[in-house]
Amino acid sequence: MSMSLPLLTPTETVACCSPLLKQPIGADEAIRIAPLLKALADPVRLRLLSLVASHADQEACVCDLNDAFDLSQPTISHHLKVLHEVGLLDRSKRGVWVYYRVRAEALSALGTLLGGVVA
């Protein structure tokens, strides 16, 4: 957290468009970030995240998600677990149902790292 880099040479300024590109990332930092990207780097999980976020109240129960894929229930459950474990999805149980919700801060932190700008 919190690396402030005040003085930039012209070259550095040009290079600057994302924290990743501003300066060499540390080995430990890379090890910490990679699992987040790895969790996202699957088509099913990308769709799951997007589906949950697009759902009413930005949350969805597993029953809704299962129907959206041609995959077994345990497989969906597995993917949700992966996203939850890296902190991209919040999980709350209400009765028999389990609801997942996107942790937008986590996602946008990743986006910022890569240098994106919201349209």
Binding residues (CB under 7 A) for DNA: these are: 38, 41-42, 44, 61-63, 66, 70-75, 77-82, 91, 93, 95-98
Q: Does 17 bind a second copy (CB under 8 A)?
A: yes
**Structure tokens given for 52:** 């949950």
- Residue 94 pairs in a beta bridge with 97
Q: Find which of a second copy, DNA, none residue 104 binds, CB within 5 to 8 Å per kind.
A: a second copy
Q: Pick between residue 96 and residue 117 the one whose CB is nearest to DNA.
A: 96
CA quadruple 82, 48, 78, 64: dihedral positive or negative? positive
Distance between CA atoms of residues 56 and 94, nearest Å: 16
Contact window for a second copy (CB under 8 A) among 9-17, 73-81, 90-98? 9-17
